[in-house]
Amino acid sequence: MTTDNAAVPSDVTSATGPTGLIIPALPLTPEAFAPFGQVVQAYADVNAVPSPRTTRITGANQGTAIKFHKLALLESSYPAGAGATAGLSVYRCNPIDVLTGGLWTVKLLERHPYTNQAFIPMGAGEELPQPGTRYLVIVALNGEGDRPDLATMRAFVAHAGQGVVYNTGLWHHPMAVIDKAMDFTCVETQIGDGSDADCEIVNLDESSGHYSVQLPIAL
């Protein structure tokens, strides 16, 4: 799945602060996230499903459920013989050190060249009785020199009813959970040998100041 950088709206306001460019963390919506991936969630009003309405919505489970079909498809393009397998993992993500309304510095981005990657919040349970309810989604498209195009960096605040799917090869920051720990199920294809084929990380150059994400005052 490829994305045209031009598809990323350039009208997002940003400011230059002491740490470099400041990017506002905006509410995660399928439309805003479309250049980067998909949002996995249900909708209280089935007519609220994002437009253009391409999601198939049906009753399920003998009428006791509503199914929002295939909000994202699983992708894998590992070379034959790479030994990659698709699976589900769980990440217990500790919160980042930031206050609501505060600035959080983006120092690295990663990508997965051969797979898209889903993170689905798992909610409360005996293992995590009071999980967090918000997490940051920080993304950027690929640019010159096969490195992140930082002009396309965007930040979103997702709530615990939203999962996120990063497009194959999309630059993104590792899960950044706000306030309290959260468990996520991660769906991806991996070899699992720690190679760049699975996950490539770039440390962002701080010569012109790190990019910072501005969290909203109210979450």
Ligand X SMILES: NC(=O)N[C@@H](O)C(=O)O
Nearest residue (CB) to ligand X, 186 versus 219:
186
Which of 95, 113, 174, 209 touches ligand X by CB under 6 A?
A: 174
By Cβ distance, which residue is nearest to ligand X? 174
Cβ count within 10 A of residue 130: 8
Least separation in angstroms between residue 199's CB and ligand X is 4
User: With binding defined as CB under 6 A, does residue 26 bind ligand X?
Assistant: no
- Reduced to 3 states (helix: H, G, I; strand: E, B; else coil), residue 184 is strand
Q: What is the dihedral of CA 172, 177, 181, 185, to 10 degrees?
A: -40
Which of 136, 155, 175, 182 touches ligand X by CB under 6 A?
A: 175
Whole-angstrom Cα distance, residue 57 to residue 44?
A: 12
Number of residues that bind ligand X (CB under 6 A): 5
Residues 108-127 that bind ligand X (CB under 6 A): 110, 117
Binding mask 148-167 for ligand X (x = CB under 6 A): --------------------
Question: Is the distance from CB of 88 to CB of 204 less than 8 angstroms?
Answer: no
Which of 12, 199, 202, 219 touches ligand X by CB under 6 A?
A: 199
Backbone angles phi, psi at 101, to 5 degrees: 85, -5
β 20-27/211-214 pair status: parallel
The DSSP secondary-structure symbol of 10 reads: S
Whole-angstrom Cα distance, residue 164 to residue 32?
A: 12
Task: Using CB under 6 A, list all residues that contact ligand X.
Answer: 110, 117, 174-175, 199
